[in-house]
Structure 1
Amino acid sequence: MKNKFILPVVFLSALFLFAGCKKEAEDIHIIYTNDVHGYIDNLKKNSDIKDNIPGVRYSSLTEYVKQLKSENKNVLLVDAGDHIQGTIYCAIDNGETIVNMMNTAGYDLATPGNHEFDYGMKQFLKLAGKASYPYISCNFYKKENGKITRPLKPSKIFKIGNSKIAFIGITTPETITSSTPKFFQNENGDFIYFIEGTENPQDLYDSVQKAINDVQNKAKYVIALGHVGIGLQEQKAGISSIDIIKNTTGLDCFIDGHSHSLVSGEIIRDKNGREVVLTQTGYYMNSFGEMIISEYGITNRIFSYDERHDGEIEELENAVFEKVKNELGKKLAVLETELYISNPNKPKQRLIRSTEMNSGDFVADSTYWYFNEEKDINCDLAIANGGGIRASIKSGDITKLDVKNVQPFGNMICLIKATGQQIKDALEMGLTVIGEYDYQWDSPAENGGFLHVAGLKYSVDSTVPSRVKTDSDGMFEKVDGKYRVHDIEVYNRVTGEYEKLDLNKEYTVGGINYILRNSGNGCSMFKNCDQVVDFVGQDCDIMSKYIESFAKEGEFPLIKTANSPLSAYKGYLIDYENPYGSGRILIK
């Protein structure tokens, strides 16, 4: 987000520096992170030594916190969610490494992001128990046998200096659909864990307001520590941090996450017109933030680089890097053309969730190939959601680690039977914001459920308004009107032709069980589909096998279109040399 309020923030900073000398010891420094997603190995280019050096890491922000404390500053270290999922460093032990690192770093508080639940509810609660810092959320609850309980406390009050400061934890209502819905259900498939605001944004506002009211008379400052975001989808649904501020009273600040936005200190007025400072540090530990609360106001700044590093944390980091390198660093193949998830001409413009990309084709092809060629089980088509494809792979030598970074979640591959109508509904579900533009990111609007395909092609008319209707849990119910998706065709491996999708015919569909078995991204249309096979292997392992199936040129497989075993399929759309894929998805 462009910082429209930089002048007031800079002014407050100057005022603090001018007049705050006598009161400095009473100022409160809040160091914060959000959406780290396991990016603990960041590098920065140093022009002086013409080499890469460590960038912002847990070790650097820890050293900064230590420095502040050595100067007798009042300091709190907090995180706004999504720290235990996203890279192999998280997945290697289901998040335990990251929690241990945060313990050692001295975090005081965290709120769970949607991806904190990606290893299952049992694992999240186990990790929350191992954390030396509490997790808080005012709108996450459990309802079983008519009884409502709160697995996490809604708030936390700290006495720091001569002041008390209260934090309110807030979790995005998008959690259930963007994580795995099954993890929020009991063994009978009934939901027992819920996020207030999923059905009605007013429920979210009421939950936050109640939490504020409960602490307002006990603390001098009240800060929201939320994982809710300010993205286009959040604002359209009325569940963004901006909406929460505008519909509540009593907050002083809002430290946010989820939308991966860089907000250095924007002023939003609450329900009574009072100013609230909103901030977010971006994503992947590219930055960390510092909020300074003094009697003269609130100042905020974002650090994009700090060369200091705490030795103890650095040892932990290096040990993890070495472990992963030994296990996953072996060369698999040579990649001729980069597999992109972003615009080749604008690397910060992520496109994998809004349009066809060669990486999306490649991931879907790996499942399609695996069933049809490796396992000799008929697979009519395969799908891969854009939100599950997390990284590009640069040309040159590639390793299992590169593949794992593309698909870090450890999703299992399965094969189901689904009707043409169910397939059409799933494609439509992924197209809800296609054609819209997110000006915050200077990028097409994203939907993590946007489906990349193999053995299938389809067209999209984005001028048709989305008519997808969902239930209170964000699950697909119906399309109430004209479909945006059209001209859906399935590849026939016998004839080498693409044929019109028959809405009444049953097809075999391959993909991750997150989508096909567990209703991920709201894809409940597949919930009761017959299973052919499940748990045949992790997605990253299947992709590695596909890579190893390419023809060798020298000692290793050379990854290019002509060397793919699928290139032998007559008339099959495949073109890995084109960043935007082979024309399987045509968007008007």
Structure 2
Amino acid sequence: MGGSTMNSRRKFIRQLAGASAGLAFMNLPERLLAAEDLIRLSIVHTNDIHCHIDPFPDTDPSYAGQGGMARLSGLVKQIRQENENVLLLDAGDMFQGTPYFNFYNGELILKVMSEMGYDASTIGNHEFDNGLDGISNVIDFARFPLISSNYDFSQTSLYDRFPKYAVFHKRGIKVGLYGLGIELEGLVSKKNYGDTLYLDPVKTTIQMESFLKNEKKCDLVICLSHLGLSYRNNKISDTVLAGETHFTDLIIGGHTHTFLEAPLEMKNADGKRIIVNQAGWGGLMAGRIDFILDKVEKNTPIAYSQNLHIVS
């Protein structure tokens, strides 16, 4: 394809990106993305699964017969058939919520997520429900990293068990991930988290995003957050954090079980776009964010699309 044609196609997508924040780029003609200069990366994400492997029971007053990891698995397979360039991510609270946790602790859900091909998750407060030993006994069943950037486990039995970041390579695109957990004091019993230290999430974010962008040379930087979307007081949340960032492109959130009809487009500390999203809970919804990156312009993100899937 000639240079003028590629430039026209790139310009056309930029114009579409500026026309409407909610425009669904999934429906773009494939010819616009066919050449090697533009790459689509699909981010599929969940949060607060709470061991809902099966759909909700038919007797559930709100979600009868809906959700669950079994159905979500089929959705993920379909998305991967459409685009092999996919990252499957989770924002914590995989544990607790159904008899599967009562009987298997975290072993079964981690095995299920591994079989589904999750690329990474972070740690939620319910991961501590069986204490530090409860985490230690099952963590090896996860064939994906549980990223924790702001929990300091150095004085516990979990020292060196959780990476502070991860970098993935997708068709020449480098994607850096870091993970943030919520403050445990007052939320989790002290005996369950022991000497785990909670590090300031804003300071941690500034350190991690700069490291991933400037030292690791990542094209996209994603935060897996279990801080919660927003609060009525000034408690740190994803929407508060977004305004403090410089290099983070996407915050995938959890904890508040928020069903967003569309991702939030916010401004970072430099006035640039940052996307914040959350996908309910219990496997009732899967979030999807598609980034379109321009390889000619050093893998610069020139557009993104969004599509939230209800798993029913």
* Distance (Å, rounded) in 2 between the aligned partners of 1:151 and 1:131: 12
Asked whether the 8 Å contact 2:93–2:125 carries over to 1, the reply is yes
Cα shift at 1:125: 2.6
Which one has more relative contact order, counting CA pairs under 8 Å at least 6 apart? 2
1:285 aligns with 2:283: yes
Please say which structure displays the higher CA radius of gyration: 1
* Distance (Å, rounded) in 2 between the aligned partners of 1:242 and 1:15: 29
| Aligned-partner SS, 2:144 | coil
Residue aligning to 1:162:
172
1:140–1:8 CA distance, 2 compared to 1 (3 A): farther
Asked whether the 8 Å contact 1:26–1:162 carries over to 2, the reply is no
1:35 aligns with 2:70: no
Asked whether the 8 Å contact 1:141–1:150 carries over to 2, the reply is no
Residue type of the alignment partner of 1:300: Q
Cα shift at 1:9: 3.7
Q: 1:82 aligns with which of 93, 105, 113?
A: 93
**Gap regions ≥5 residues in structure 1:** 1-6, 46-51, 186-191, 197-202, 307-588
1:67–1:304 CA distance, 2 compared to 1 (3 A): closer
Residue aligning to 2:238:
241
Q: 1:152 aligns with which of 149, 162, 166?
A: 162
* Distance (Å, rounded) in 2 between the aligned partners of 1:260 and 1:89: 20
Asked whether the 8 Å contact 1:245–1:268 carries over to 2, the reply is yes
Cα shift at 1:170: 0.8
Cα shift at 1:205: 0.7
Cα shift at 1:15: 7.8
| Aligned-partner SS, 1:104 | helix
1:84–1:166 CA distance, 2 compared to 1 (3 A): same
Cα shift at 1:39: 2.2
Residue type of the alignment partner of 1:34: N
Residue aligning to 1:10:
22
Residue aligning to 1:177:
186
TM-score normalised by structure 2 residue count: 0.80
Residue type of the alignment partner of 1:252: D
Residue type of the alignment partner of 1:193: T
Asked whether the 8 Å contact 2:95–2:101 carries over to 1, the reply is yes
Q: 1:305 aligns with which of 301, 308, 311?
A: 311
* Distance (Å, rounded) in 2 between the aligned partners of 1:206 and 1:36: 28
Residue aligning to 2:269:
271
* Distance (Å, rounded) in 2 between the aligned partners of 1:19 and 1:12: 16
Asked whether the 8 Å contact 1:241–1:256 carries over to 2, the reply is yes
Residue type of the alignment partner of 1:119: N
Cα shift at 1:259: 0.8
**1:305-340, CA deviations, whole angstroms, 9 ceiling, x for partnerless residues?**
35xxxxxxxxxxxxxxxxxxxxxxxxxxxxxxxxxx
Residue aligning to 2:4:
none
Asked whether the 8 Å contact 1:140–1:152 carries over to 2, the reply is no
Residue aligning to 2:121:
110
- Aligned pairs for 1:212-227 (under 5 A) are 212-217=209-214, 218-227=217-226
Residue type of the alignment partner of 2:213: Q
**Gap regions ≥5 residues in structure 2:** 1-18, 294-301
**1:261-303, CA deviations, whole angstroms, 9 ceiling, x for partnerless residues?**
1222111111111111110011222111111111341212111
| Aligned-partner SS, 1:158 | strand
* Distance (Å, rounded) in 2 between the aligned partners of 1:182 and 1:243: 30
* Distance (Å, rounded) in 1 between the aligned partners of 2:65 and 2:149: 36
1:193 aligns with 2:196: yes
| Number of residue pairs matched by the alignment | 277
| Aligned-partner SS, 1:281 | coil
